[in-house]
Amino acid sequence: MVVGEVTHERDVLVIGAGPGGYVAAIRAAQLGKKVTIVDKQYVGGVCLNVGCIPSKALITAAHHYETMTGSADMGITAEGVKLDFAKVQAWKAGIVNKLTGGVKSLLAGNKVEFVSGEAFFTGPDEVRVAGEYEGARYKFKDCIIATGSRPFELKNLPFGGRILSSTEALSLPEVPKTMIVVGGGYIGVELGQTYAKFGTKVTILEGSPSILPGFEEEASKLVVKNLKKLGIDIVTEAMAQGAKQTDQDVTVTFTADGKEQQLTAEYVLVTVGRKPNTDELGLDVIGLETNPRGLLDVDAQSRTKMPHIYAIGDIVPGPALAHKASYEGKVAAEAIAGLPSAVDYKAIPAVVFSDPEIASVGLSEKEAKAAGRSVVTGKFPYAANGRALSMNAVDGFVKLVAEKETGLVIGALVAGAEASNLIAELGLAIEMGAVLEDLALTIHAHPTLGEIVMETAEGALGQAIHQINR
């Protein structure tokens, strides 16, 4: 044993203090377990510190700035509007500090011990935690691995200098004049659009035929329209080959339309996916193998092939979403406590905080038909909703997918203002087994965007009031 090391015994050891890990730790403690949670960086994980929360703060600030400088059609002209980006960054940091401080208080209030350090398996029921000054060993009855993911690094565009991951892009000291975004998925679109609203000239290079390839084209087209309004250039089927940096800028070489091209900008932001953090845990020491994508396969209670070791979040199959990780964390903690909890992924929402926002839950029309299900759909435009008109937010629609025979709601897509909030009602509808009549007969307050959900259900039933029935 290394000098200074002490062995501690715990019921549950959680590795990773992000949205999956800290939720799992708190739930396990609530169920009477003695819990320690370990993280090598910070409480709250990527989401609270360098992901979901700070990015949404910048997105909101950019939206306010755009509104103040672009509301002339509403009769509002603002003069002398100034952007103090350093203050924006300080405001963002304050939000992060409030949330991470809150999580620390919740852990302490639930008697969860937090340990700062890097965990490494030394045996099937033990890890060594290497901290800044000394190490310690923790023996556990059960372990939950929740180590999350990190930005995927391209070999020909390695991070460093003016080649940024999303982490560095969220903390730039000033708004750049130009930026190239490699990757037109949700992270690239969100951050590219944010900086464009602040005044950056942005170019997006996407390898697929369209941006946001994981979402339905009828929704992503609305985002493309607004991106172009902001002056963002979009190059699809573009493959980055490499980059050369100077002290002032970086030049990217890429192929598109069958020919090699070059673009120069102050920064290049690479957002081509994320890589699971499973490679530095010592999993090989205990014989726990990952699949070819670096993920750990688990059962319906988040157990790995070793029944007392669980895995959740970005390191298991499925979408890399913070809310999925939190959900799995609760399931794993309850399974450890002997409860019959199990995951059910039929209603996991996915959201892009673009402009307009896109949110989906359940099955798309295409997915439902591919599964052999006979479906009926309803679609209602924001432009026919009074609240959307009064918000000057007429771009968008709600679409519902339901079984034709029963009216059972099995999928939903929202593209438009507040889609991220509207999707919750539709996720609940799918989770509880609601039918179209349930949504159509639920009285929605007027005038609200929520009425669009009711109107969409009425349309799917052939009972539309504010649009012509098909």
Residue range 330-340, pLDDT digits in tens: 999 999 999 99
Residue range 43-99, pLDDT digits in tens: 999 999 999 999 999 999 999 999 998 888 899 988 889 999 999 999 999 999 999
In the predicted structure, residue 217 carries a pLDDT above the cut 80: yes
One-letter amino acid of 443 = I
Question: Of the candidates 440, 437, 427, which has an alpha carbon nearest to the alpha carbon of residue 362?
Answer: 427
For tokens 């996916």, name the residue: 273
Do 151 and 20 contact (CB within 8 A), yes or no? no
Measured at the CA of 238, the angle between CA 163 and CA 60, to 5 degrees, comes to: 55
Residue 389 belongs to what H/E stretch? helix 386-390
**Angstrom distances, CA of residue 275 to CA of 103, 286, 340, 420:** 25, 22, 31, 25
Residue 129 φ then ψ, to 5°: -110, 115
In the predicted structure, residue 264 carries a pLDDT above the cut 60: yes
Q: How far apart are CA 458 and CA 398, in angstroms?
A: 12
Q: What is the pLDDT of residue 308?
A: 98
Helices (DSSP H) in 21-121: which residue ranges?
Answer: 21-30, 45-50, 52-69, 85-109
Residue 182 CB-density burial (10 A; 0-12 exposed, 13-18 middle, 19+ buried): buried
In the predicted structure, residue 395 carries a pLDDT above the cut 50: yes
In CATH, the number for domain 163-272 is: 3.50.50.60
* Average pLDDT of span 172-192: 98
For tokens 């598109």, name the residue: 256
Laid out side by side, the sheet with 178-182 consists of: 163-164, 267-270, 178-182, 201-206, 233-236
Q: How far apart are CA 14 and CA 329, in angstroms?
A: 10
Specify the pTM. Answer: 0.95
* Average pLDDT of span 27-54: 97
Can 466 be counted among the known catalytic residues?
Answer: no
In the predicted structure, residue 2 carries a pLDDT above the cut 50: no
One-letter amino acid of 241 = Q
Which pair of structure tokens corresponds to residue 453?
Answer: 């959900």
**Beta strands 409-415 and 358-362: pairing type?**
antiparallel
Band of residue 1 on the pLDDT scale cut at 50, 70, 90: very low
Strands (E), 323-374: 350-352, 358-362
For the chain, the C-alpha Rg in angstroms (whole number) is 24
Angle between helices 21-30 and 85-109 (to 10 degrees): 30
Instruction: Give the CA count within 13 Å in the CB-facing half-sphere of 430.
Output: 23
Q: What is the pLDDT of residue 133?
A: 63
User: Any idea where the domains of the chain sit in the sequence?
Assistant: 7-151+275-336, 163-272, 356-460
How high is the mean pLDDT of the chain? Answer: 96
Residue 365 φ then ψ, to 5°: -60, -40
Q: What is the pLDDT of residue 470?
A: 79
Q: How many CB atoms lie within 10 A of CB 79?
A: 5
Architecture of domain 356-460: 2-Layer Sandwich (3.30)
In the predicted structure, residue 5 carries a pLDDT above the cut 80: no
In the predicted structure, residue 132 carries a pLDDT above the cut 70: no
Strand partners, 378: 400
Do 270 and 168 contact (CB within 8 A), yes or no? no
Band of residue 328 on the pLDDT scale cut at 50, 70, 90: very high
DSSP codes, 137-184: EEEEEEEEE---EEEPPBTTB-SBTTEE-HHHHTT-SS--SEEEEE--
Do 106 and 114 contact (CB within 8 A), yes or no? no
* Average pLDDT of span 248-272: 97
Size of the chain, expressed as the number of residues it contains? 470
For tokens 């209030």, name the residue: 109
Residue range 338-391, pLDDT digits in tens: 999 999 999 999 999 999 999 999 999 999 999 999 999 999 999 999 999 999
In the predicted structure, residue 134 carries a pLDDT above the cut 80: no
Do 166 and 151 contact (CB within 8 A), yes or no? yes
Q: How far apart are CA 95 and CA 100, in angstroms?
A: 9
Q: How many CB atoms lie within 10 A of CB 198?
A: 19
User: In CATH terms, are 163-272 and 356-460 the same topology?
Assistant: no
- Name the CATH superfamily, with its identifier, for domain 7-151+275-336: FAD/NAD(P)-binding domain (3.50.50.60)
| Least-confidence region, from 122-136, 193-207, 402-416 | 122-136
Strand partners, 415: 358, 397
Residue range 150-162, pLDDT digits in tens: 999 999 999 999 9
Task: Provide the CA 164 distance to its chain's centre, in angstroms.
Answer: 19
Q: Which of 63, 323, 444, 446 is catalytic?
A: 446
Do 173 and 90 contact (CB within 8 A), yes or no? no
In the predicted structure, residue 244 carries a pLDDT above the cut 80: yes
Q: How far apart are CA 9 and CA 126, in angstroms?
A: 9
